Amino acid sequence: MAHPLEQLRDDALREIESAPDEQSLEAARIKYLGRSGSISAWGEQMKTLASEEKPIVGKLLNEVRSSVTAAIDLRAQEFRSQKESDALTKIDISLPGTQHEIHTSTVQIRAMQAGPPPIRVIAPGAAYRRDEVDATHSAQFHQIEGLYVDKNVSVADLKGTLEFFMRELFGADTAVQFRPHYFPFTEPSLEIYVKSKALKKGEEWVEVCGCGVVHPAVFEAVNKARGDKAYDPGKWSGYAFGLGMDRLAMILFDIPDIRLFAQNDLRFLKQFT
């Protein structure tokens, strides 16, 4: 003959499996596992059992409690999955979505597609990356990029322009250093480092900008999109650069944590008004 605990387990499992909603499932949990529940009550009954029965019934009680708990967890997960499924049915996943831009370089391309050279473009905007947020990284930040296209543009033009800009920004005594780097859309590619006594970092070189001469393949791709040869790489050349505005502000004002920009703390913001 089955032990009363086994019968109680079977009753509980049937009720849990047939629970039509989360409210009914919670009612079943309280009925069987709550402080005054049927299964919980057996903990008190254990005190009245003979010594030789206690280990046997105790083991069965633990098994019954585990089985019922697992069944409740499984049924709760089924309800959660159903909710997620119902929510997804309201979304037409075949519709084209909107992807946040990871940089503002797309503005440069649109500018070239919209008009013939020569052109000068400054493209500020928000950018988004899948970065772990910490003191120096954010999933959303601000970028400013520049593009200059004309005849006979060289690295000398790039260096002259950006050296002038860096000294206007950080001070006339700023030392500017160009280091070779790799970017897929420029060749040669460079990173700019600055060092200035006006900065809290003092004599430390600080990376502030990526730049380079526009790769001829970029002009070929623009021509293909335009359907003409307006940006003939044999006639036109140019340079491009990009800076993180948040990073520049952190360097200029010795801000230790990029997250401060998004916290709306008036004590912080009033320093820049």
Q: Which pLDDT score is estimated for 147?
A: 96
Residue 198: pLDDT over 80: no
Per residue in 48-85, pLDDT (tens digit) is 888 888 888 888 888 988 999 999 999 999 999 888 88
> What number is the average pLDDT over the span 94-120?
82
Give just the sign of the alpha carbon dihedral 121, 127, 129, 131. positive
Per residue in 239-266, pLDDT (tens digit) is 999 998 888 888 888 888 888 888 888 8
Non-local (6+) Cβ contacts of 73 within 8 A are none
Non-local (6+) Cβ contacts of 256 within 8 A are 135, 250
Q: Which pLDDT score is estimated for 93?
A: 58
Q: How confident is the model at residue 91 (pLDDT cuts 50, 70, 90)?
A: low
Q: Which pLDDT score is estimated for 24?
A: 92
Q: What are phi and psi of 114, to 5 degrees?
A: -80, -25
pTM for the model stands at: 0.60
Per residue in 136-181, pLDDT (tens digit) is 778 788 899 999 999 999 999 999 999 999 999 888 889 999 999 9
CA distance linking residue 97 with residue 95, whole number of Å: 6
Q: How confident is the model at residue 1 (pLDDT cuts 50, 70, 90)?
A: low
Residue 188: pLDDT over 80: yes
Residue 134: pLDDT over 90: no
As beta bridge partners, residue 125 has 143
Q: How far is CA 172 from CA 68, 71, 129, 164, 245, in A?
A: 75, 72, 34, 9, 20
Q: Which pLDDT score is estimated for 259?
A: 85
